[in-house]
């Protein structure tokens, strides 16, 4: 396992290099600049700003300087947040996005797993059609549509939860429901398909022939193999819950890293966009690696190869 993990981590280096390179040149090819949105700046002040941030150098030199910084794990200063580096912005904002992602993951599993298990027990019956229909609706409705609808109903009409902010437990409910509910639909459908496949296997029929009751068959024999598709999905899903918070954090005015990323894209804050992309790319790679290790632990037929 150690050799497998080290090999995957070594592959991460060229992947991150490609991500950094593509993002760097895409940002520079985009129209506008970090100081173009400001009120008209005198030419001499603009020249000093560009010299301070190294924007007066040739593009190739800027690229090499940035890659040298990244190699030292220094993501540079932010162009828009004075006296703050990109490392400091990420360190301060990512815990909020992480908390939102964990609450959303809990909602996704709490809603999706029971729905999928219920649907798999009696396929092609009302207990199958109803939760799967709700799951399909959850997949089809985008979060940027569901979010304002829940705010309208539960925050403005009933005043049960707060429509924005991140200060009290009431602030966590609606964002976690919107983000987690979307992924709960996928978890429910994957759980149903995985359980149906396992329940048709010979060892399940053998367990039933030996007199095992339905509860023992489900939780003692079938659930470990039936949840393998869900475990495979959890890696990209967890990454999606954290990175997908861009829209949710903007809708609910949550001070997470996703909101900083959106603002940085509009402000052409080159270093903050690059740093956030690299950070999330690294996070996604590590989460997928963790899921691969867990899959081998759950399924003895797999090997670290």
Give me 90's structure tokens.
């990420």
Domains and CATH numbers, the chain: 1-305 (1.10.3720.10)
pLDDT of residue 246: 75
Q: Does 194 have pLDDT greater than 70?
A: yes
* Residues ≥6 apart with Cβ < 8 Å to 165: 171, 252, 253, 254
pLDDT of residue 169: 84
Q: Which of 7-11, 271-275, 292-296 has the lowest mean pLDDT?
A: 292-296
Label residue 218 by pLDDT band (50, 70, 90): low
| pTM across the whole model | 0.76
pLDDT tens column, 29-42: 877 767 766 567 77
pLDDT of residue 235: 72
pLDDT tens column, 84-114: 888 898 888 888 888 888 888 898 889 888 8
Residue 281's alpha-carbon distances to 16, 78, 243, 262, in angstroms, are 7, 19, 10, 16
Residue 99's alpha-carbon distances to 104, 166, 231, in angstroms, are 8, 11, 20
* Average pLDDT of the residues in 105-130: 85
* Average pLDDT of the residues in 131-142: 82
Cβ(223)–Cβ(204) below 8 Å: no
Strand, helix or coil for residue 85: strand
Alpha helix segments (H runs only) across the chain: 2-29, 43-52, 59-71, 86-121, 126-140, 143-150, 169-199, 202-209, 214-216, 223-226, 228-243, 245-251, 257-267, 270-298
């Amino acid at each position: 396992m150690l050799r497998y993990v080290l090999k995957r981590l070594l592959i991460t280096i060229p992947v991150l290099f490609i991500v950094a390179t593509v993002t760097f040149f895409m940002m520079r090819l985009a129209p506008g600049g970090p100081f173009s949105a400001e009120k008209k700046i005198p030419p001499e002040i603009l020249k000093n700003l560009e010299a301070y941030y190294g924007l007066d150098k040739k593009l190739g030199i800027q690229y090499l300087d940035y890659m040298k910084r990244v190699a030292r794990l220094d993501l540079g200063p932010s162009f828009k947040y004075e006296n703050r580096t990109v490392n400091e912005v990420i360190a301060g904002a990512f815990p909020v996005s992480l908390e939102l992602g964990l609450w959303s993951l809990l909602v996704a599993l709490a809603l999706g797993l029971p729905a999928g298990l219920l649907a798999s027990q009696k396929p092609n019956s009302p207990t199958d059609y109803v939760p799967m229909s709700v799951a399909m609706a959850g997949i089809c409705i985008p979060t940027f549509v569901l979010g304002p609808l829940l705010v309208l109903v539960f925050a403005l009409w009933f005043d049960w939860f707060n429509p924005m902010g991140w200060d009290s437990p009431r602030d966590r409910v609606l964002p976690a429901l919107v983000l987690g509910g979307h992924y709960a639909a996928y978890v429910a459908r994957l759980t149903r398909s995985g359980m149906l496949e396992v329940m048709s296997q010979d060892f399940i029929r053998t367990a039933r022939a030996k007199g095992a009751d339905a509860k023992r068959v489900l939780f003692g024999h079938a659930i470990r193999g039936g949840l393998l598709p869900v475990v495979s999905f959890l890696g990209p899903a967890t990454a999606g819950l954290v990175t997908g918070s861009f829209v949710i954090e903007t809708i609910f005015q949550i001070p997470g890293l996703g909101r900083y990323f959106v603002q940085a894209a509009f402000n052409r804050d080159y270093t903050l966009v690059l740093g956030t992309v690299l950070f999330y790319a690294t996070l996604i790679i590590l989460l997928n690696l963790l899921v691969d290790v867990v899959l081998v632990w759950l399924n003895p037929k797999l090997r670290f190869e």
